[in-house]
Structure 1
Amino acid sequence: MTEYSAVHIQVLEGLEAVRKRPGMYVGSTGERGLHDLLYEALAPAAEAVLLGRASRIDVALTADGGARVAHDGRPEDELPRRLTTCWTPPPPTGSRVSVSFFAVDLFVVNALSTRLTVVEHRDGVAVHHAYARGELADGPTETGPTDRTGTAITFHPDPEIFETTSFDHDTVAERLHELAFLNRELDITLTDERTTPPRTERFHHPAGLADFTTHLGGDPTATLTVETTDEHMGGTLDVALSWTGHGGVRCYANSRRTGGGTHLEGFRDGLTAALNRPDLPAGLTAVVSVKLDDPNYLGCTRDMLANHPVRARTAAAVHRAVEAWLAEHPAPAPA
Structure 2
Amino acid sequence: MSEDVGGYDAARIEVLEPREAIRKRPGMYVGSTGERGVYQMVFDVVGRAVNEVLAGRASAVDVTLTPDGGVRVADDGPGVPVEAAGHAGGPSLEELLTHLPTGAGAGGRHAAVVGMFIVGPCVTNALSSRLTAEVRREGMRWVQEYVRGVAVTAPVAVGPAAGSGTSIAFRPDPDVFETVECSFDVLAERLREVALLNRGLSVSLTDERPAVGPRSVRFHFPGGVRDLVASLDARSGAPLHADVVGFECEEPRMEGTVEVALRWCDAREERVRTYANSRPTPEGGTHAVGFREGMAAAVNAYARERRLLTAADPDLTADRIGEGLTAVVSVKLDHPEFEGATRGRLAGASVRSCVAEAVRQHLGAWLDEQPERAEAVVGRVLRSARRD
* TM-score of the aligned structures, taking structure 2 as reference length: 0.83
Between the aligned partners of 1:94 and 1:249, the Cα distance in structure 2 is: 21
After superposition, residues 277-316 of structure 1 pair within 5 angstroms as 277-279=316-318, 280-316=321-357
Between the aligned partners of 2:116 and 2:243, the Cα distance in structure 1 is: 33
SS in 1 for 2:253: coil
Q: Which amino acid aligns with 1:232?
A: R
Whether 2:132 is the aligned partner of 1:130: answer no
- How far the C-alpha of 1:222 sits from its partner, in A, is 2.5
Between the aligned partners of 1:67 and 1:271, the Cα distance in structure 2 is: 43
Between the aligned partners of 2:376 and 2:94, the Cα distance in structure 1 is: 58
Between the aligned partners of 1:247 and 1:22, the Cα distance in structure 2 is: 38
Between the aligned partners of 2:46 and 2:12, the Cα distance in structure 1 is: 39
2:201 is matched with which residue? 186
Whether 2:256 is the aligned partner of 1:256: answer no
Between the aligned partners of 1:2 and 1:27, the Cα distance in structure 2 is: 36
Is the Cα contact below 8 Å between 2:131 and 2:168 reproduced in 1?
Answer: yes
Structure with the higher helix share, 1 or 2: 2
* Greater Cα radius of gyration, structure 1 or 2: 2
Is the Cα contact below 8 Å between 1:216 and 1:247 reproduced in 2?
Answer: no
Which range moves more in the overlay, 72-81 or 222-231?
Answer: 72-81
Between the aligned partners of 2:186 and 2:270, the Cα distance in structure 1 is: 19
Between the aligned partners of 1:255 and 1:47, the Cα distance in structure 2 is: 11
1:87 is matched with which residue? 101
Unaligned runs of 5+ in 1: none
Match of 1:324 among 356, 362, 365: 365
Is the Cα contact below 8 Å between 1:96 and 1:292 reproduced in 2?
Answer: no
- How far the C-alpha of 1:96 sits from its partner, in A, is 3.3
1:273 is matched with which residue? 297
2:262 is matched with which residue? 241
Whether 2:252 is the aligned partner of 1:228: answer no
Match of 1:197 among 183, 204, 213: 213
1:140 is matched with which residue? 155
Between the aligned partners of 2:78 and 2:270, the Cα distance in structure 1 is: 39
Between the aligned partners of 2:367 and 2:228, the Cα distance in structure 1 is: 22
The C-alpha deviation readout for 1:76-109, integer Å capped at 9, x for no partner, is: 2223201012334761366132122121111101
Between the aligned partners of 1:76 and 1:143, the Cα distance in structure 2 is: 16
1:208 is matched with which residue? 224
The C-alpha deviation readout for 1:43-102, integer Å capped at 9, x for no partner, is: 111111001000000000111111010001111222320101233476136613212212
Is the Cα contact below 8 Å between 1:326 and 1:332 reproduced in 2?
Answer: no
Match of 2:135 among 117, 120, 130: 120
Between the aligned partners of 1:61 and 1:233, the Cα distance in structure 2 is: 39
Between the aligned partners of 1:216 and 1:86, the Cα distance in structure 2 is: 37
After superposition, residues 145-164 of structure 1 pair within 5 angstroms as 145-164=160-179
- How far the C-alpha of 1:182 sits from its partner, in A, is 0.1
Is the Cα contact below 8 Å between 2:71 and 2:171 reproduced in 1?
Answer: yes
Between the aligned partners of 2:94 and 2:126, the Cα distance in structure 1 is: 13
Calculate the aligned-residue CA RMSD, in Å.
Answer: 1.7
Q: Which amino acid aligns with 1:250?
A: R
1:54 is matched with which residue? 58
